Amino acid sequence: MIAEPRYDEGEDEEDIVLNERFLAQVREAVEAGDKVRLDALLDDLHAADVADLIEQVGSGERAALLELMGGLDGDILSELDEGLREEVIDQLEPEELAEAVRDLESDDVVDLVEDLEGEQAEAVLEALDSADRAVVEQSLAFPEDSAGRLMQREVVMAPEHWSVGDAIDFLREAEDLPDQFYHVIVVDPRLRPVGYVTLGSILSAPRETPLKALFEDSFRTVEATRPQADVAYLFNQYHLISMPVVDDDDRLIGVITIDDAMIVLDEEHEEDMMLMAGVGDSSLSDTILETARQRFGWLFVNLLTAILASAVIALFSDVVDQIVALAIAMPIVASMGGNAGTQSLTVAVRAMATRDLTGANAWRVVMRETAVGFLNGLLYGVILGAVGWLWFDSAMLGVVLSVAMWLNLVVAGLAGIAIPLGLEKVGIDPALASGTLVTTVTDVVGFFCFLSLASWLLL
């Protein structure tokens, strides 16, 4: 047996820089209008942390902070939450914006521009020189959330006949290599990628080795029009580090690196989680009004479905009127169904995101979830039946609770898996509507089973 020592969680977080003490110091500097002190505080900070700082202060403080900072690096702008970029850009002078943007790589400019309104987007594009602008506009011509928007245009490529020595000589003399690259992509005379070689193997192989002899097994390309979610899946599934992007004619037009794929993976997760909870596209830096509006819509859908469930109760108002115990016990059946349905649903949404649940095994998984509902329904039927019998001193009410619980957990298991599968089949993101749909089904079925059994057996 292997010993498993435990670590002390969170004890040693000195590299989590935005702690309360630091924020208090920033606030003091901003309130005192002390630019020297503010610059000293921010000087060592990574752009991602400065962006987080701007996000974390309240909106009143934010204006004062930005004013005292006076201009922003492009890096900070591109790290900033999308919802805040417009607000921050509005506060920059045109020449400050131009200076910030000129430092950025083309893929970062694309990421920045695509979320801006017309006028601001124009301002950013105009700040670029014409060559950079053309590159950015080409990327923007690809569909939103496609591989083409994610790729960087700067690629390091080599012809098929090159040796390691040729590649090294080329790299030594090249100006303007990309900031980060991990492979040399080998292309045929029509610029179609045929393989890639890691920099590590170029460095460790003899000069005369042909690049072809060092091709990595992991090589695969992606079309520029493929959704970014697929790109993130491919990186994660095949442990890729970079992936060449090709156009309709299979010609190399860019490359996506794993750091960008990791960001997409993170965003896709966030989207699934937020969609399931009905929060939509939101962030902590949104204002109260914006946030209330974003959540209003989902709550409205929930209101309609809650009214539907209540209408089911209303159908049985006679029997509820005669036996008050029914009003007391019925939320238990609905609540258990809702939770069991959410369990199945969450497993399904996750498995669909990781492509573990596909048309090929859907039927088996539906059967499995229904069987799990059957088993747990049986157990909880017995437990709740006993509770109901003792609580309300009525064996028959216990039987009604028991059977209703059982039926509802079977339906919950089935609905939790069948609804997301059905939504995907008709082209709707299964995370989007499943939450309400599943709990609506379990509420309606729960109330209906319980109250109809009650009116049959208890009256």
Residues numbered 313 to 332 that lie near its own copies (CB under 8 A) are: 313-314, 317, 320-321, 324, 326-332
Residues 400-419 that bind its own copies (CB under 8 A): none
Q: Which positions from 210 to 229 touch its own copies by CB under 8 A, shown as an x/- string?
A: ----------x--x-xxx--
CB 225 within 8 A of CB 155: no
> Applying CB under 8 A, which part among 29-37, 99-107, 188-196, 377-385 lies near its own copies?
377-385
Between 92 and 346, whose beta carbon lies closer to its own copies?
346
From candidates 30, 256, 347, 410, binder to its own copies by CB under 8 A = 347
Residues sharing a CB contact under 8 Å with residue 320, sequence separation 6 or more, in sequence order: 313, 326, 327, 451
Of 98, 39, 103, 93, the closest CA to residue 69 belongs to 39
DSSP class per residue in 28-73: HHHHTT-HHHHHHHHHT--HHHHHHHHHHS-HHHHHHHHHHH-S--
CB environment 82-94: b (16+ within 10 A), e (fewer): ebbbebbbeebee
In angstroms, give the least distance from the CB of 204 to its own copies: 5
Write the interaction track for its own copies spanning residues 226-265; mark x where CB under 8 A is met and - where it is not.
Answer: xx--x---xxxxxxxx----------------xx-xxx-x
Judged by CB, which is closer to its own copies: 278, or 422?
278
Q: Which of residues 82-111 bind its own copies (CB under 8 A)?
A: none
Q: Rounded to whole angstroms, how far apart are CA atoms 310 and 238?
A: 49
Determine if 78 is a binding residue for its own copies (CB under 8 A): no
**Residue among 246, 187, 189, 257 at smallest CA distance from 221:** 246
Site for its own copies in 162-191 (CB under 8 A): 168, 171-172, 174, 177-178, 180-182
194 binds its own copies (CB under 8 A): no
CB of 93 or CB of 213, closer to its own copies: 213
Q: Residue 39: CB partners within 8 Å, gap ≥ 6?
A: none
Closer to its own copies by CB, 213 or 327: give it. Answer: 327
State which of positions 278-307 bind its own copies (CB under 8 A). 278-279, 282-284, 288-289, 291-292, 295-296, 298-299, 302-303, 305-307
Q: Which of 99, 114, 166, 188: binder of its own copies (CB under 8 A)?
A: 114
What tokens appear for 221 in the block? Answer: 């390309």
Q: Which of 32, 71, 358, 395 binds its own copies (CB under 8 A)?
A: 358
Distance of alpha carbon 229 from alpha carbon 313, whole angstroms: 43
Of 67, 86, 103, 266, the one binding its own copies by CB under 8 A: 266
Residues in contact with its own copies, counted by CB under 8 A, come to a total of: 152
Residue of the chain from 30, 88, 132, 142 that contacts its own copies (CB under 8 A): 142
Is residue 455 within 8 Å of residue 319, measured between CB atoms? Answer: yes
Q: Which of 41, 45, 52, 154 binds its own copies (CB under 8 A)?
A: 52
Question: Smaller CB distance to its own copies: residue 185 or 309?
Answer: 309
Among the listed residues 68, 155, 187, 202, the single contact to its own copies using CB under 8 A: 202
DSSP states of 90-127: HTS-HHHHHHHHHTS-HHHHHHHHTTS-HHHHHHHHHH
Joined together, the tokens standing for residue 373 give: 């509902």
Report the residue from 101, 245, 272, 419 that binds its own copies according to the rule CB under 8 A.
Answer: 272
203 binds its own copies (CB under 8 A): yes
Q: Does 426 bind its own copies (CB under 8 A)?
A: no
- Residue recorded with tokens 């609506």: 440
**Among 162, 159, 223, which Cα is nearest to 187's?**
159
Q: What is the 3-state composition of the chain as percent helix, strand, coil, each rounded to the nearest 5?
A: 65, 5, 25
